Amino acid sequence: MIRGVLIRLRSIADGVWRFLRETHIARLAIMAVKLWPSLRLLSISLALLVLGCATLAGLSARIVFVTLAPASPSGLGAGIAAGLVGVVLLELCAVVAIAGIEALLQLAHDTGRHRAGALLTLATLFAAAAAAGLLADGAALSVSAWLSSGIAAMLIAITGWFRRAYRKPAWRGFRDFHADVVEARHFLARAAHDV
């Protein structure tokens, strides 16, 4: 009897673990870990994306809890509602991030190395200008200023890496852009099914 209960508990734990691994936030985290040995900058970018999603979900859950706490004497209802909001927002943020990555890979595949580099440079310039505008307005301590500055810094690092990796054949880390884009798209497709 005890053995049967242990087998059932183990199967429930395995089912919960499989469910957690199939969430989009887990897919993002697993991609960051798998990319670490070969593409560390992109791995760090994905890890920062996971951290940003978790921060957004945590802040939203806190706002919901603070808002609902006066109406819930025990705090249990407010805690459950805050937890649900946090989980839903975490997953929605990860879904949007993965969809954005897939769209960027499709765009890179369709436009080619030179146009993708030009678009990345333009996006970096816009992000840096937005961050500079927020900082010039005196909003240095606001969340939007920190967020835009972080995005601009990440885009500057990725643009520098892109120029070295795909535009300078003399660099020892020079890579084939088209092969990398195709491999990244296959990697995302495998992550959707093999996680």
Same domain? 77 vs 166: no
Q: Considering 47, 75, 100, which residue would you say is the last residue of a domain?
A: 100
Q: Considering 68, 100, 132, which residue would you say is the last residue of a domain?
A: 100
10 within some domain: yes
Tens digits of residue pLDDT in 38-93: 777 778 888 888 988 898 899 899 999 998 888 877 778 888 889 999 999 999 99
Q: Model's pTM, two decimal places?
A: 0.75
Percentages of the chain per state (helix, strand, coil), in multiples of 5: 85, 0, 15
**Domain membership of residue 163 as a residue range:** 112-195
Tens digits of residue pLDDT in 86-136: 999 999 999 998 888 888 888 888 888 888 888 889 999 998 888 888 777
Same domain? 24 vs 48: yes
Same domain? 9 vs 91: yes
Number of domains in the chain: 2
